[in-house]
Amino acid sequence: MGGGTWRVWSRVASVPMPAASTVTIWQLASGAYEVAASPPESTALPLWEVETDASAVVALRDRRPWAGERRVLWLQGAPPTAGPGTVAELLVVDRELQIERVILRASDNGGGTAGATVADVLVVDPASGAWASIYPSSGVDDQRPAVAYDAAGAGLIHDQGIPERRVLRYGSLLRFVTVEHAAGGVPAELELHIVCAEI
């Protein structure tokens, strides 16, 4: 909140980034986005700090301010060894929440030989009963959390993906699933932390 206004943005937008630089995506009082190294106006709110190399985004740092308290929804379990499937489920029994960030942590890399263990979060809408991924554009721009077959140390934690579906209604059921497994092995245990703001 800034400039005496509420800021609301309800759709996904593509924002071009300059190559080989570190910039911030700002939200202006009008609600529009602007990419700049410093605030483009006195009431601009920082959203994300983006670091790029010559051809891709290499790091994202969340800079969004929130007025409400945060909740962390935690799902944990052993991934199925026979193939991708359900790891854990959780019922949202709090007020409506807005997803800020999704963090995946693997106990190990699974000792595979190629590929990655890729996770997804499905949400069932209490009104319609339909399941939907919080990453609906994964076929075009895959932001789902993943752990590479040879990951180690900090590589066992993935916290850079940007979920598109943000609002969790009271009574929503979350399902933490794997959608791909590394060839030759999967981690013994996976933890998923969904960081949310109260709305």
10 Å CB burial of residue 177 (0-12, 13-18, 19+) is buried
Query: Residue 192: beta bridge partners?
Result: 75, 104
Closest by CA to 145, choosing from 60, 68, 80, is 60
Residue 149 has pLDDT above 90, yes or no: yes
The model's pLDDT over 98-137, given as tens digits with 9 standing for 90+, comes to 898 899 999 999 999 999 999 999 998 777 788 899 999 9
CA separation for the pair 7, 105 (Å, rounded): 32
User: Domains along the chain?
Assistant: 1-65 (no CATH), 70-198 (2.60.120.340)
The pTM of the full predicted model, rounded to 2 decimals, is: 0.68
Residue 1 has pLDDT above 50, yes or no: no
Structure tokens at 71: 């909740």
The answer to whether the beta carbons of residues 117 and 147 sit under 8 Å apart is yes
Confidence of residue 3 (pLDDT cuts 50, 70, 90): very low
Structure tokens at 183: 């060839």
The confidence score (pLDDT) of residue 187 equals: 96
Residue 4 has pLDDT above 80, yes or no: no
Q: What is the dihedral of CA 60, 17, 167, 64, to 10 degrees?
A: 60
The model's pLDDT over 50-59, given as tens digits with 9 standing for 90+, comes to 999 998 888 8
Structure tokens at 1: 């909140």
Spatial neighbors of 113 by CB under 8 A, at least 6 apart, are 149, 182, 183, 184, 185
DSSP secondary structure code for residue 188 in this structure: S
The answer to whether the beta carbons of residues 177 and 56 sit under 8 Å apart is no
Residue 183 has pLDDT above 90, yes or no: yes
